[in-house]
Homo-oligomer: A and B are copies of this chain.
Amino acid sequence: MSDRRTEILRAATRVIARRGVRGLRMEELAAEAGVSTSLLYYHFGDRAGLLRRTLEFISDRADRYTAEQEVADPEEALAQTLLLELQDTAEVRENSTAWGELRASAVFEEDLREDLARATHTWVHEIAELLGRADPFGAAPAHAAAAERLTALLEGLSVRWLSGSLPLEHARRLLRGAIELELSAGRAD
C-alpha cells in the first residue's frame, strides 16, 4: 500500500476515534491527512469505500499489536492475544474506539455490514485456532463457539471500558476468567 494511502487511513482512524463515524466528513479528513478531497475520492471511490478500507486497516493494526508477543505456552498465547486488546496505550485506545464505532454505526449504515461481518469472521477464526492449540483434544465446533463468545465478550468489555462503566484492570480480569472457563469446559468433556 502506498504511503499516502496508509497516511489517509491512519488519519481516518484518528478522526473516527475522536468524533465517531458519523462525525467523519470527507473535507475534514482531507484536512487531517493533509491531502485534497479529490485524492480521497481517487483512492477510495466514495465515503463507503473509505470506511471499508479503514475497517481493514484497523483490523490489520490490531492483528499486529496482538501478535507482538513471544509466548510458548499456547494457553498464555491465547490469553495475551485477547488481553492485548485491552491496553491503555494511545494506539489500542484509538483502534478499539474506532472498531467499536464502526460496529455501532453498522447498525445504522448498511454499507458497512458485509465487510464488518467478514472481518469479525476472520477474527473469530484466528481465536478458534489459538483455542485449538491450547486445547488440542477439543472439538472444532466447540472452539468456534468459544471463540465467538470470547470475541463478543471482548467487544462488550471494551466498549464498557471506553464508555467509563468498567475500569481497565477489572475488564482484563473478567476476560481472563472467561478464557479459563472456556478452556476448563473443553478439558472436562
Contacts and interface: CB of A to CB of B under 8 A. Distances in A.
**Among the interface residues A97, A116, A148, A152, which one has the most CB atoms of the partner chain B within 10 A?**
A152
Contacts of A103: 104, 159-160, 163
A100 interface: yes
B177 A149 contact: yes
Contacts of A104: 100-101, 103-104, 159, 163
Interface stretch (A66-74, A131-139, A178-186): A178-186
A42 interface: no
Nearest to A110: B164
A82 interface: no
B20 A177 contact: no
A19 B108 contact: yes
Interface in A106-132: 106-108, 110, 112-114, 116-117, 120-121
Nearest to A20: B108
Interface string A5-18: 00000000000000
Contact of A145 (B22, B116, B174, B184): B174
Nearest to A150: B153
Interface of A: 19-20, 22-23, 97, 100-101, 103-108, 110, 112-114, 116-117, 120-121, 145, 148-149, 151-157, 159-160, 162-166, 173-174, 177-178, 181-182, 184-185, 188
14 contacts: A22-B23, A97-B107, A100-B107, A112-B163, A113-B163, A116-B164, A117-B164, A145-B177, A149-B153, A152-B153, A152-B174, A154-B156, A181-B182, A181-B185
